[in-house]
Structure 1
Amino acid sequence: MSKTPLRRFLEESEQSAEAFAASHHFSPWTIRHYARGDKMPSFRAQRALNDATGGAVTPNDWLEWSSQQATKQADAA
């Protein structure tokens, strides 16, 4: 599985999921799951992440990522 947009942002900004969550009013559990790709953020959460990252992680980034994951799964089948 490729890195999620949020995982790339956290790595590039050298932030832990916990630190990001605390400074942007998310639960650490939620940020860890979004970053690992275990859970796809709702559109509302995607907009909140867009705001929290200063536009570095957009809803379109999540759409592109999920499309790539679906293609990989289809190719593997």
Structure 2
Amino acid sequence: MTSDVLLRRATGADALDMAEVWLRSSSSALPMVRRAHSDEVRSWFAHVVVSDHECWVAEEQGGAGAAPPRPAAARPGTG
């Protein structure tokens, strides 16, 4: 079985879905670690992560999943 996946740059419209992926994965992977309030995380993704960093999403059959952002130093041509 194969499925088509489209990788694309994230836009502001993806920020909330990306924040949800981060919130769920961090809760699952590190349940004992206290984290910021969900609303603060969503705001951070919308106003900092997606707007200031190179972020990518993978879309499969009309849905999207987030890939973690790369810091500027890890991007080609940025240092």
Q: Same fold (TM over 0.5)?
A: no
Greater share of residues in helix: 1
Greater share of residues in strand: 2
With the length of structure 1 as denominator, give the TM-score of the two structures: 0.30
With the length of structure 2 as denominator, give the TM-score of the two structures: 0.30
Bigger Rg over Cα: 2
